[in-house]
Amino acid sequence: MSERASYAPCSGCGAPVPQSEGPTHKYVVASPGCWAVYGTLLAREYGDFHYPAVHRLTVDAYMAQHPGNAEHDRRQRQSVAVHLCALCLAIEGGLPLPQVTEELGRLTRQRSDWPLLSAPLSPHWLTVVDVIGAADLADHTARVERWARSVWEAWAPHHATIRQWATGVPR
């Protein structure tokens, strides 16, 4: 007789993920079940899909979706800010993803601390759970792109600030 996994919402993104007692990240606020699903997705990207072009968006969407309350953790504030800058540069700026990575290096060299952004109150975003079931690389790519856009849109109240950080130019 097999037991059905019990699910609970992730403490960071709210995705329904298997309850588990596994590991989590030091400063990314995610439940162990969500962290495990993300790990499975990364393994699939590296293995089955041979490190797809959208990997940059996978990382940025996941990290921006797990902000926690970073008031007292500089690493957490920086992670959320930098990954949101990456989404801004890719989605709004249309930068090729390898160039986004270069820009993030520049941003983190220029700034050592980032202010806290209040997390979306009602994010209505897609999550890692919406991507994990992709049938093939094309489906995976489309799902990751939709996920990244949904995360970016959830942070709309902060877009002007994030654009300023990412480009140095207010819009």
**Residues 41, 59: contact at Cβ < 8 Å?**
no
Task: Look at residue 16 and tell me whether its pLDDT is greater than 70.
Answer: yes
Model confidence at 72: pLDDT above 90 = no
Quick one: pLDDT at residue 170?
A: 54
Domain limits of the chain?
A: 7-167
- How far CA 148 is from CA of 8, 73, 118, in Å, comes to 23, 24, 19
Residues 6+ away with beta carbon under 8 Å from 83: 59, 60, 61, 63, 64
Query: Helix, strand or coil for residue 21?
Result: coil
> What's the Cα-to-Cα distance from 147 to each of 1, 45, 55, 99, 141, rounded to whole Å?
36, 15, 12, 20, 10
Look up tokens 């992670």; give the residue. Answer: 79
Q: What are the Cα distances from residue 130, in Å, to 58, 80, 125?
A: 12, 21, 10
> Which one has a higher pLDDT value, 95 or 121?
95
**Does the pLDDT at position 23 exceed 90?**
no
97-124: pLDDT as tens digits: 999 999 999 998 888 889 889 888 777 7
Question: Looking at residues 22-32, what average pLDDT do you find?
Answer: 87
The gap between the terminal CA atoms of the chain, to the nearest Å, is: 59
Model-level pTM?
0.92
